[in-house]
Amino acid sequence: MQKKNIPYIFDIQRFSIHDGPGIRTVMFTKACSLKCKWCQNPESQKNKQEVAFYYENCKDCKKCIEVCPVNAIDPITKISDYSTCIRCGACIDICENDARRMIGKEMNEKDIISELLKDLDFYTDSDGGITFSGGEPFIYTEFLFKIIKELKKKKVHVNIETSGQFDFKKVINLLPYIDLIYFDIKHLDSQKHKEYTGLTNNTILNNFEKLNLIFNNIQVRIPLIPNINDGIDNIKATSEFLIKNGHKSAHLLPYHSMGNSKAIRIDYGAEIFKVEPHTKEEIEIIKSYFSKFGINPITYD
């Protein structure tokens, strides 16, 4: 059974260059209060392990069906009934074709620290460090506090990527150990925000304003979602909010459909989000709107 405030880790990604300065290792935790329709990491939303089915690898040997103790796998489609599945891993262990994988790994704090420090020389040489992402890493404040304190003993630069949907009181004690925060702002209209993420933006915007008063290294990130938050009215409102809070730049993250291929493999429980990504020309127009309203738009090559 998962221990309180200890996350399942669903990925540790090395040699990242877009999640903070220098060369970084990014650790992804499971669980998020938001349910963004365009989520690029749908496997991060639930605070539990999940069995992912890579149907293209399945050779129809039926061994997974034979070993499942609760008969959760459909003999025709090979898809699991996730309401029945107990995530015991028997189907994963028996599969010789890597058609089933467990999403979410239990790791103790000692092993996590050891894993994150493997590339310490790269962090030092490139002025890089560790980035905690998700999901929402600020759900796990007690866990982060223990891990980050050990990282800071090695003078490792620490970045947190947050949706902004967190309990502010629980985050305050972490701030002295954090060097940078990437803070997502998805939509300035509260009801639109709720329509597309499941929650209003009230907590997020309040947290941003409070955090901005006591932490001086916040970088705003904005996922650009076609026909949802890319209109000139929302860009203007977002720009005005940022300028009011002393910010003059934003990282723009163009939408891509990577999350869809992940969602169909797990118990996603929502309609797959389908929209055409922006063209390069459309991105340039959006950037020009931000510039017009006083915000320097930063995109990744």
Residue at 1 is within a domain: no
Looking at residue 59, its pLDDT comes to: 95
| pLDDT band at residue 1 under the 50/70/90 scheme | very low
**Same domain for 109 and 99:** no
Assigned domain for 4 exists: no
**pLDDT of 206-230, one tens digit each?**
999 999 999 999 999 999 999 999 9
**Claim to verify: residue 88 and residue 129 sit in the same structural domain:** no
CATH of residue 85's domain is 3.30.70.20
CA distance 181 to 217: 7
| 16 and 80 inside one domain | no
Q: 43-76 pLDDT, tens per residue?
A: 999 999 999 999 999 999 999 999 999 999 999 9
Same domain, 87 and 121: no
Last residue of a domain, one of 63, 78, 103: 103
Cβ atoms within 10 A of the Cβ of 96, count? 9
Averaged over 35-45, what is the pLDDT?
95
- Percent residues over pLDDT 70 in the chain: 98
Tell me: do 88 and 231 sit in the same domain. no
- Are both 90 and 204 inside the same structural domain? no
The answer to whether 148 touches 171, Cβ cutoff 8 Å, is no
- Cα 35 to chain center, whole Å? 11
Whether 2 maps to a domain, the answer reads no
The CATH number covering residue 202 comes to: 3.20.20.70
- Which pairing describes strands 218-224 and 50-53: parallel, antiparallel, or unpaired? unpaired
Do the domain assignments include residue 3? no
Do 197 and 68 reside in the same domain of the chain?
no
Q: What is the tens place of the pLDDT at every residue in 145-161?
A: 999 999 999 999 999 99
**148 and 35 inside one domain:** yes
Answer yes or no: are the C-beta atoms of 123 and 129 closer than 8 Å: yes
Say which residues have a Cβ less than 8 Å from residue 227's Cβ, sequence separation at least 6.
275
Residue 98 is assigned to a structural domain of this protein: yes
Q: Who contacts 268 (Cβ-Cβ below 8 Å, separation ≥6)?
A: 42
Structural domain of residue 92, as residue ranges? 50-103
**Can you tell me the distance from the alpha carbon of 26 to that of 122, in angstroms, rounded to the nearest whole number?**
13
Together in a domain, 165 and 283: yes
Could you give the CA distance from residue 235 to residue 202 in angstroms, rounded to a whole number? 18
Q: In what order do the strands lie in the sheet with 157-162?
A: 9-16, 24-29, 129-133, 157-162, 180-184, 218-224, 249-254, 296-298
Place of tokens 């389908």: 274
Q: Within this chain, do residues 120 and 197 fall inside the same structural domain, yes or no?
A: yes
Q: How many domains does the chain have?
A: 2
Is the same domain home to 58 and 27? Answer: no
For residues 177 and 216, the answer to whether their CB atoms sit within 8 Å is: no
Residue at which a domain ends, from 84, 103, 122: 103
Q: Is beta strand 9-16 parallel, antiparallel or unpaired with respect to 24-29? A: antiparallel
Question: What does the angle CA 106 – CA 147 – CA 137 come to, to the nearest 5 degrees?
Answer: 70
Closest CA to 164 of 196, 187, 130, 195: 187
**pTM across the whole model:** 0.94
